[in-house]
Structure 1
Amino acid sequence: MAQKMLRREARVNNGDVTMSLIRKSLDKVLPLFEDEIDQSQQDEIFSELIRRWSFSIGRNATLKGDGNHVDWLNAERKANWRYWARYADYMERHLPQKAVDALDVSTDEVLQQLEDPQRPGAWDRRGLVVGHVQSGKTGNYTGLICKAADAGYKIIIVLAGLHNNLRSQTQVRLDEGFLGFESLPNQEILSPVGVGLEDTDIAIRPNNGTNRTERGDFSTSVARGFGVTPEDRPWLFVVKKQKTVLTNLNNWIQTRVADHTDPATGRKIVTNLPLLVIDDECDHGSVDTQEQVFDENGRPDDEHNPTTINRLIRTLLHSFSRKAYVGYTATPFANIFIHNRSETPEYGPDLFPSAFITSLGAPSNYVGPGRLFRSAQGAASSSLLRPLSEKDPSEWLPIGHKNGYLPRWEGAEDVPPSLKEAVRSFVYACAVRKLRGQGSKHCSMLVHVTRFTSVQGEVKSQIEAYHRQLRDRFTRRIDIAEIEAEMRTEFEAVFRPSMASVRETFFDDGDERQVELMTDVSWGDVREVLPDVLADIVVREINGSAKDALDYEDSRNTGLKVIAVGGDKLARGLTLEGLCTSYFVRTTKMYDTLMQMGRWFGYRDGYLDVCRLYTSPEMIKWFGHIAEAAEELRQDFDAMAASGGTPRDFGLRVRSHSTLTVTSRTKMRHAKPMKISFSGDLLQTIVFDPKAVQANFTSGDRFLRGLGNGVDLNEQRWRAPGTNWSGRLWRQVSAEEVIDFLQGYSTHENSYRVRSDLLARFVRVMADGGELTEWTVALVGRSDGDPEAMKCIGGCRIGMLKRSHNNSEQNGPYSIGTLISSRDQAIDLTEAQWQAALELSQKAWRGDRESDDEKGPPKNPGGPAIRRILGEGDPVRGLRHERERGLLMLYLLDPKGSELDRSVLDPDQPILAWAASLPGSSSGRGLSDKDYMANTVEWEGFSDGLG
């Protein structure tokens, strides 16, 4: 009632809902329930309303194909849609109104790209929806399913992972969001749930071909009783991506559903029932990893035999004349590497998203890899992220251990100190949430240290023993003095200050209502509830052989407090409700797999400050690199969508990307012919070898002296009003001079994004083809005039930048988070170029906090838009492309600002860093694929590689 009242107020106040308005609405409603709602419940309702009205939603971006598609979705068509209406009502009970409105817009955008199910004739639409890890993709495709059923799609198949528990979890969600009843076998009376309680009319209940039990997948024996006709209500099937299940489903469609036989091929086809396939985690299991051969004319081999799951999915689609396929994933790399012309007569086209690719915007309260690992610099590195030492836990559970290994710490059946700390951290988190009125919410801890089930059982037993020890001491008060003193010191000296650090790091002035939910607590408060908290916690083993289960639904009124020990079943898709603490030491060197293992991403409203991730420094570094690469990909996607790109354009872009060797070798077979290209990239040095600092400075000094005097950096072709610079500028620098500098500069061997010698070779290849032949070189310094920070290089005196060391290894290379300022790539643009890039940036802006978007449309052009304008020009303004001009930016870093010991960096020797901004190119020039394979293996250390 209060939310509906606030929704009306929001319309009057241009969407702004203040805390006073929330209190005012509650004061009107609460008197109606004064005998039913006590003060603590009133406070909880108030906090929930604050949470619901305290964030924004990022916009979506879509690349549209140019196929035979007819626009069809309009207001008239949406009138009286009951499946969507009841789902929207249901979601209003769980989500802020802004989120429900955004879900409506988002699902309309995807549905519009599908074909009208009432359109006659044959049609085939294949698309991809890219979300964020743990961001609510299931809720999005549930809304899409509701609208598709309203529009007239009759057969809806959801491909839900590889394991029974994940399939069952998805079925339960769809019971609540679409079916409206508990899909249990052999039930004469179906119990309404979710949307079924919003609209109780059983006449619109969809049919279910699968159920929510662990064994509720598609079954041939059960399917014999199914009757499917065009007049019936829609059918829902939630099935595993497993050979037997998909084979049986295809056989049933061929024998019981198909209504037409193709006279030319003899193939049985369903013509009267439009099909929608939702492929959840579509990069996992669905991609054809067999290489298809193409002849000299580009025609695919008709005899190609795809891998099993891919073949069965394509067979399913090929059995319908009217069909739509939508893949959902947060890691789309493998899907984009699908060859866009792969096809066979027997199985039809491959699953390349030729119709559309939609990138979903993230709400401002979503915490994903971008926000988490960008914020890993400074305060948050010792708060949310807890780096593990090399000894602990590797001496307990060595990397590369075998099945049956018995983990031991100092010879005993005991967990290492870091895991004990993580368990205590989880106990504090549960206590704080209880004190904040969140005691009835689920709280979970993830322990992911091995893929072997036998070892997981040992780990579970050891954690249970430590938890039992803590519980017994606090509930029975036996030998409590020492552990109580230890935990008090730990909470007051480490955990509580880290809570404050997270609140300060992750939330700015616009998030005061979010911070309001995270009240501070004292040790005395925590100590009082510890016995109850410890008594509530259970330890579960989650794998294929264990009998344990995450029974969140059974504990929905009290909240499940669980430490979940597992491996692959916890690695993808399975949601850990209320995840607070993660202990993660599994290793992989594939971006998509690693990102999907990140179950700690998602929504942590009111308790983000108590969340902790325990993992190795190497894993923190890898996640930081992945977050950077994924964000760069997303920015390029947004710019491409703003300028009218297609899915095929995006596929080519990713295949030629300089860093995205990001999935398994078999999934990248069709990426092999691509050359490495830095066109359209921003490269910046962020890792520095202390041994090369002096030599690099000398190389840069020689380079700049050879360029002459140059001009003041403020004498650019055009400067935005109010913009002032400090430094020097040189124009029309030859490619040979830039190549000489790059060849004389040594990048660190662990530099993941940048190899100076490789870029030098790329510049030469481009210059030989008439591109990147002349350069603008800028020496950029601080402009605050601090005399202590001034140094001379190449005869120019500039201010050094301060960049802190972003690595827990104090004796390792000097590593920083980012080098350049966002405005630097606009150096020496003309006013027309600057304005064109600004307009493109504003068009691409989505208000996505995960992507570090500004809260309002940008006031300065972004790097991707600048590089695109320089590479393509702007016909509207008569701007030609400037592919012959690159931008090289040089900086001096203050070694004292690194906060590294003088034994690592000489405090008197400035560190020369550089960044290169390269215009886009359509020439296809680049380094040979042979060089690309060799160098990626060398600099990124991938065991899978590309060849």
Structure 2
Amino acid sequence: MFSVRDYSTDGFQLAHEWMLRKLNRGMTWAGLMLCGKTSEDACQDFLDGREEDDDWPRLSVAEWQEFVTYYRQLEEESQSCIIPDNATDCNINDMSAPGLVHSAWQLYKKKLLEEKNFSAASVSQIEKSTLDILNRLNRGESPEDKRHVKGMVVGNVQSGKTANMGALLSMAADYNWNMFIILTGTIENLRLQTQQRFLDDLCSGNVSWQSFEHPGSNNTSSMSVLDLKSGSRMRYLVCCLKNSRRLEALKRWLNSDINRKKQLRILIIDDEADQASINTKDITEDEKTRINEYLTDIVNDSGQGEFGAMNYVGYTATPYGNFLNDASPESLYPRDFISVLEPSDLYFGPQQIFGSSYNEDMNGLPIICPISGEYRRKKDDATNYDLDVLMDICSSDSAATVEPPPSLKNAIAWFCIAVAIRRGRKNKQACTMLVHHSMVTEHHGKIGLSIVNWLKNVSMDDFIVLCKNVYAEETARFNKEVLKSTLPLYGKKSGIDIDRDIEDYPVFDELVRHIKDLKSTIGHIYLHDANELSYHEGIHICIDNCKYEKVVQNKEFDSYVRLMYPGKEQEGVPYAPAFLVIGGNTLSRGLTLEGLVCTYFSRDCSQADSLMQMGRWFGYRRGYELLPRIWMTDGALKKFQFLSDLDHDLRLNLYRYSTQMTPMDCGPCILNTSGVAMLRLTAKNKSQSAIKAEMSFAGARLQTIYFENDVETLRKNLYVADKFIQSLGSPDDDMMKVHPDKLVWTDIPFDNIWEEFLSQSDYRLSQLPDLGVIKQWIDNLSRNTTLDNWSVVLSGKKNPGNQWNGVGKITRTRKISGTLTPDSKSICIGVLSDPSDWAADIPNVDNLKKEYYSSVESKRDAKEADKEDMKAAVRAMAGKGNVPLLVIYCIDKTSGSGKDYKGQEDGKSYRSPLNAVEDIVGIYIRMPGQMINKDYFTYVTIDLGD
């Protein structure tokens, strides 16, 4: 994108709406370049008139054409991944976005832009992905088409899946589906919130919406009252709890009139489809949970007669259970399609926050702060960690007397700072801090007592000093410059410029009066006469769990303890209200925490899908991008870093097969590794059909970029590497003449490498849980074919004064992001291998490269030739086509010394000196062959049967 203007303003939105209307009426993109006129002069006259009469921005013809080009590129880039129904695509419809001004879709689209402040880029993306899903559904137009379509939409946690659902409902309503059933989870309050949200969002224009409450119960209207005739404007909405009694009643209602049933064109949307809908009974014994039984009965049309059309679409951000549970014909397995929703470029998701081993430029944001301690600590460790203090609070009979641990105090201080910044900017939206330590409801109240007692007793002066120290540390660690370096593409497609559109931190003195206001009043939400809620300037302490009383009676007035944000009736609140929320499972699904700026996550969890859903800090933080902070344990951080790769890997897997096969031809493969020993993908009773999938290291490029700054481990690796190199004997003299900074040994058996080097070392290879899986693959491979013996290279640089085993030590510096600080125990160097090392064992590599490129048909082909293809071809020409390569490096522990630790900006990341306790040995492995799979983990997939 080359735009430098902000296209999110009201004037540009008006211009974009005009553009969409013209496109819907048949104008081409070429025609739009001149606003439908025949010359640039006529186009300029038109633009001038729009500025004067319709509040468009002032635009030249060139600026207008840049604007049109911007949205044309968005249209081309905005697409979702669809796994096709079959190779011939015979069941794909050809519906386009409804274009009538009063269509349900156009009215909903207008609401997204004007009322919900979605960017035009986001709405364009929603439209495209929704059309892809819509065109996979069964419309019931052909009597011969009796398919019961079952699909899955994979979104992201807190990424706006509901907006896509609303778009799908609206478009489907325009195309004459008439019965819409939304399955909304297991909590009635959340069902009511979801129902009200859809009733508020769905627009009546050319259609008219009617909602049914608990259909099939005694008080529900009979099926006979429905207007289902052809051409009817009526569209019916049912929000149903995932409850066996509710689903049984719904099934009974839908089957109560055979003639009406034939007219029902049904779309079922299962929100959080991995919750409650999955069968957790023993599928080998043909058992089902009651919820799953009633739901599959409805979807499979088990009653008398047939529905006019039946479509089931599950939505979830964590589909592991859905993909691994059961793929039998009657199950809810997404046999027909899987769609992947891409969030907008304003979304803060797992890769943005925790980094990705797939993308060296995605290192994670430095917004993670440590909580010391671990749940499974050694018995003889007497250190008083943060987690120990929290456990003392939860077990104490007088929790109010136990002060919060230092990390929680720092988190509360940052929360007050963030609220003060929002108030200083005259922002009136709610701000929230989440404390999530335990699922035990009793613990929530005790932690709340500890926090309240400390806040009330710490002196104002001491609290201001704490806030000032936290402010200095956090603003130095993460600021606008760091945001630009770690997320350089943030908001680019949405017209956001980080320098122009993101406010930097104010000076601390400007925040003091707001911080004092916050500390002055510590309590619950006030509840006055007539159950009227009122909010104060201080911190509202909210205890939110399913068992806690909502109202606590006091002498002067009652208090509302559960979380309740100001509604429309409280819109006059003159400041951003602050909510410190302590809770458990009620906060882990289906709830959006408004203005979440601070999260204290000390919860222990060993299940991947549950842990990901607890990440309520994922989402959109437009307007306060610099304020969010997360406190968590090192154990939780490692799990979330793995989850980041798990999430990214699953999406890559779905894209990989997007044009080749159906979910029934090849089940989605889900990464599963021993790297996080205590983390399961999903509950065992949700993954009953999981089987191991094959892995391949053909074409693998593996290197060590992460190291633990532990003197014992680093010294052991140095000792083992030194001993192994000495055992290899004299290096190749001829190769030393070609590469004076490298020592090369050829024809080394892998057994020697494994027994004398790899098995005795501790290395963390990129995208690999442990070295043992390489040996397993090579052993399995040797049953059918064998690799040649290996080449081993000790690679260095020309440095006669600082050598190890005859070559100069190399230098690398630390990457600084997330919890990777200049003095952290974990070191990330980003890249280890040298670009020339792939040919370290080839003496005449330059001549072979020339020979390869001379065989390419044209200069253009030579320029565009894939470098990996060239390397593989050259190695084959040199007789090394089947030779694996192991390269060893010794990194100088003093690398980067003398440089400013905050690092020199390299445009992508910040770096600091290596600051290692010992020299570091790193390795690079290059496997021969075609890269069949670039993700070198063990996978699991679903058993699809015969």
Task: Give the TM-score normalised by the residue count of structure 2.
Answer: 0.71
Aligned match of 2:381 = none
- Write out aligned runs for 1:568-717 (5 A): 568-641=585-658, 644-648=660-664, 651=667, 653-654=669-670, 661-672=680-691, 674=693, 684-685=703-704, 686-687=706-707, 689-698=713-722, 701=725, 708=732
> Residues of 2 paired with 1:362 and 1:780: CA distance?
44
- State the 1:317 CA deviation: 0.3
Are 2:433 and 1:422 aligned?
A: no
C-alpha distance 398-464 of structure 1, shift in aligned 2 (>3 A): closer
Q: Which amino acid aligns with 2:894?
A: K
| 1:394 maps to which of 381, 387, 399 | 387
- 1:840 aligns with none
Residues 366 and 225 (structure 1 numbering): CA distance in 2 closer, same or farther, change over 3 Å?
Answer: same
Give runs of aligned pairs for residues 113-124 of structure 1, distance below 5 A: 113-120=136-143, 121-124=145-148
Map of 1:440-589 to 2, 5 A cutoff? Answer: 440-467=428-455, 480-495=460-475, 498-500=478-480, 502-508=482-488, 513-515=497-499, 516-533=501-518, 535-546=537-548, 547=550, 548-554=562-568, 555=570, 558=573, 560-589=577-606
Amino acid at match of 1:425: W
Q: Indicate the residue corresponding to 2:367 in structure 1.
A: 384
Q: 1:273 aligns with which of 259, 264, 286?
A: 264
Correspondence 1:207 to 2:226: no
Partner residue in 1 for 2:894: 896
Query: Using the alignment, how far apart are the partners of 2:235 and 2:685 within structure 1?
Result: 37
Q: What displacement does 1:431 show?
A: 1.3
Asked whether the 8 Å contact 1:773–1:884 carries over to 2, the reply is yes
Q: CA deviation at 1:284?
A: 2.1
- Structure 1 position 393, deviation (Å): 3.1
Q: Shift in Å at residue 85 of structure 1?
A: 0.9
Structure 1 contact 591–626 (Cα < 8 Å) conserved: yes
Q: Write the distance in 2 (CA, Å) between the matches of 1:595 and 1:452.
A: 19
Given that 1:115 and 1:324 are in contact with CA atoms closer than 8 Å, whether structure 2 keeps it comes out as yes
Seen in structure 2, the aligned counterparts of structure 1 residues 275 and 509 have a Cα distance that, compared at 3 Å, is closer
Q: Using the alignment, how far apart are the partners of 2:498 and 2:673 within structure 1?
A: 38
Deviation at 1:560, TM superposition (A): 4.5
Q: Does 1:143 align with 2:146?
A: no
- Partner Cα distance (2:451, 2:300) in 1: 50
Deviations 1:731-775 (A, max 9, x none): 9876556655665442369999332233212211112122x6247
Q: Distance in 1 between matches of 2:325 and 2:881?
A: 29
Residues 387-443 of structure 1, C-alpha deviation per residue, up to 9 Å, x if partnerless? 0122443223329x9xx844767x814433322221221111111122234x22221
Cα separation, 2, equivalents of 1:140 and 1:608: 24
Given that 2:108 and 2:170 are in contact with CA atoms closer than 8 Å, whether structure 1 keeps it comes out as yes
Which residue in the other structure is 1:318 paired with?
Answer: 300
1:256-335 matches, within 5 Å, as 256-259=256-259, 270-293=261-284, 304-319=286-301, 321=307, 322-335=309-322
Write the distance in 2 (CA, Å) between the matches of 1:30 and 1:672: 65
- What is the match of residue 3 of structure 1? 12
CA contact (8 A) 1:447 1:566 kept: yes
Distance 1:593 1:25 in 2: 55
Q: For 1:288, give the aligned amino acid.
A: N
Residue identity opposite 2:588 in structure 1: A
Is the 8 Å Cα contact of residues 133 and 596 (structure 1) preserved in structure 2? yes
Shift of 1:638: 3.0
- For normalisation by structure 1, the TM-score amounts to 0.71
**Cα gap change, 1:444/1:903 in structure 2, threshold over 3 Å: closer, same or farther?**
closer
CA distance in 2, matches of 1:729, 1:26: 74
2:239 maps to 1:222: no
Distance 1:358 1:890, change over 3 A: farther
Distance 1:82 1:387, change over 3 A: same
Q: Which amino acid aligns with 2:370?
A: P
Q: Which amino acid aligns with 1:369?
A: P
User: Any idea what SS the aligned residue of 2:616 has?
Assistant: coil
| Alignment partners' CA distance in 1, 2:321 and 2:337 | 16
Write the letter of the residue equivalent to 2:391.
P
Q: Look up the SS of the partner of 1:519 in the other structure.
A: coil
Q: CA deviation at 1:670?
A: 1.4
In 2, are the aligned partners of 1:682 and 1:915 still within 8 Å (CA)?
yes
129, 148, 171: which one aligns with 1:106: 129
Q: CA deviation at 1:357?
A: 1.5
Task: Tell whether the 8 Å contact from 2:768 to 2:937 is kept in structure 1 after alignment.
Answer: no
Inter-partner Cα distance in structure 1 for 2:262 and 2:682: 37
Deviation at 1:91, TM superposition (A): 0.6
How far apart, in 1, do the equivalents of 2:266 and 2:320 lie?
Answer: 26
Q: Matched residues, percent identical?
A: 20
Give the conservation status (yes or no) of the 8 Å contact 1:397–1:407.
no
> Quick one: structure 1 residues 902 and 113, their matched pair in 2 at CA, closer, same or farther if it must change by over 3 Å?
closer
- Write the distance in 2 (CA, Å) between the matches of 1:885 and 1:102: 46
1:524-551 Cα distance to aligned partner (Å, 9 max, x none): 2112333555515322222212322433
Corresponding position of 2:106: 85
Amino acid at match of 2:648: E
Equivalent residue for 1:63, pick from 69, 83, 86: 83
Question: How far apart are 1:627 and its partner, in Å?
Answer: 1.2
Partner of 2:783: 768
Structure 1: gaps of 5 or more residues = 16-20, 34-51, 179-194, 211-216, 261-269, 294-302, 344-348, 471-478, 716-724, 836-857, 874-881, 934-947
Partners of 2:112 and 2:141 lie apart in 1 by 28
1:635-661 Cα offsets, whole Å, 9 max, x none, are 3433333x6343246526337878795
SS at match of 1:370: helix
Task: Check whether the contact 1:449–1:585 (CA below 8 A) recurs between aligned residues.
Answer: yes
| 3-state SS of 1:644 partner | coil
Is residue 181–residue 269 contact of structure 2 (8 Å, CA) maintained in 1?
yes
Higher percent of residues as helix: 1
Deviations 1:162-219 (A, max 9, x none): 22233233223212222xxxxxxxxxxxxxxxx46xxxx5x72212123xxxxxx657
Q: Following the alignment from structure 2 to structure 1, what is the Cα–Cα distance between the partners of residues 725 and 272? A: 51
Q: Distance in 2 between matches of 1:531 and 1:32?
A: 43
Q: Is the 8 A contact 1:419 1:583 kept in 2?
A: yes
Give per-residue Cα distances to partners, 1:862-888, cap 9 Å, x unaligned: 99xx99x99xx9xxxxxxxx9977665
Report if the CA contact (8 A) 1:385-1:613 is conserved. Answer: yes
2:367 corresponds to 1:350: no
Distance 1:126 1:906, change over 3 A: same
Q: Do the aligned partners of 1:445 and 1:564 also contact (CA within 8 Å) in 2?
A: yes
Give the structure 2 partner of residue 48 of structure 1: none
Structure 2: runs of 5 or more not aligned? 1-9, 21-28, 36-43, 57-70, 374-383, 520-536, 551-561, 854-862, 874-879, 902-911, 942-946
What do residues 337-391 of structure 1 show as CA deviations (whole Å, max 9, x unaligned)?
Answer: 1343x24xxxxx2122121112222322211111111299999989511101224
- Please report how far the alpha carbon of residue 826 of structure 1 lies from its aligned counterpart in structure 2 after TM superposition: 8.7
The two structures, once aligned, show a CA RMSD in angstroms of: 5.1
Contact 1:118 1:152 in 2 (8 A): no
2:603 maps to a residue whose letter is R
- Aligned residue type for 2:280: T
